[in-house]
Amino acid sequence: RDVSQRVAFLSAIENLEFDPADGAAKIIVNSRTGTIVVGKHVRLKPAAVTHGGMTVAIKENLNVSQPNSFSGGQTVVVPDSDIEVT
C-alpha cells in the first residue's frame, strides 16, 4: 500500500474521540468475613436478605413527576429506592 494512505489512516485513528463503555455490574462476597462489595452498575429489585443478625431490605416506590401546565414538559415516572439495613 501507499505510505501516504497509511499516514492518513493513522492520523484519522489518532484523532478519534470515544466514550468508554460502562463497566459490568459486579457483586463481590467475601465468605470468610461476610463483607459484600457492590459496584455502581448493580441494579436490585425489591428484596429482603438476612445474614446472622443483619437484615437488608430493599423497597422501590415509583413517583410521578408532572410538569406545570403549558410548560411543554412531559410527565415521567421516577423510581425512588429505599434501602434499610438493621
Residues 4-55 have pLDDT tens digits of 888 888 888 888 887 777 778 888 888 888 888 888 888 878 888 887 888 8
Contact between 51 and 70 under an 8 Å Cβ cutoff? The reply is no
Confidence of residue 76 (pLDDT cuts 50, 70, 90): very high
Q: Residue 38, SS3?
A: strand
Alpha helices in the chain (DSSP H): 3-14
